[in-house]
Amino acid sequence: MIELAGNAVAVTGAASGIGRALAQQLAQRGCDLALADVDEVGLKSVSDELIRAGRVNVLARRVDVANAAQVHEFAREAILSFPKLCVVINNAGVALQGQFEELDLAQIQWLMGINFWGVVHGTHAFLPHLQRQSWAHIVNISSIFGIIGPPGNCAYAAS
């Protein structure tokens, strides 16, 4: 097992769900955290909770992972704040249900911007820093629908 205590982790989609649970567990393991999400209220809630617990330092930023410039700015701030950042968890994701003919291109582009391009932007922004670390990991969260494509989930499964 890798010792995470004393290192830093960046988590996208950190305001709720898996991202929030990851932030809580990583804080319990002694990691400083760079948290990103578009949900400012949820992000402030999890950030405040972790800061109140007093165990770790937290950088929380509103970031739309579909926007490369925002992701790169987040990475720059996270690395400046936490030079020992060694794990990036690309967790932000959304779902969109409907048969292909029921979806318009704007909906599919929105979903792909977050689920696909968000991972690409996050990896691209942090990779040069991670490559300079003695050890580092990039974790890309997916669902089982990345392996199977059930009816009514064509855009989500494609992402």
What pLDDT band is residue 1 in, cutting at 50, 70 and 90? Answer: low
For residue range 44-72, list pLDDT tens digits in order: 999 999 999 987 999 999 999 999 999 99
More confident of the two residues 38 and 2: 38
Global pTM reads: 0.94
Candidates 74, 82, 117, 156; catalytic one: 156
**Catalytic site includes residue 156:** yes
Concatenating the DSSP letter of every residue in the chain gives ----TT-EEEEESTTSHHHHHHHHHHHHTT-EEEEEES-HHHHHHHHHHHHHHTSS-EEEEE--TT-HHHHHHHHHHHHHH-TTEEEEEE-------B-GGG--HHHHHHHHHHHTHHHHHHHHHHHHHHHTSSS-EEEE---GGGT---TTBHHHHH-
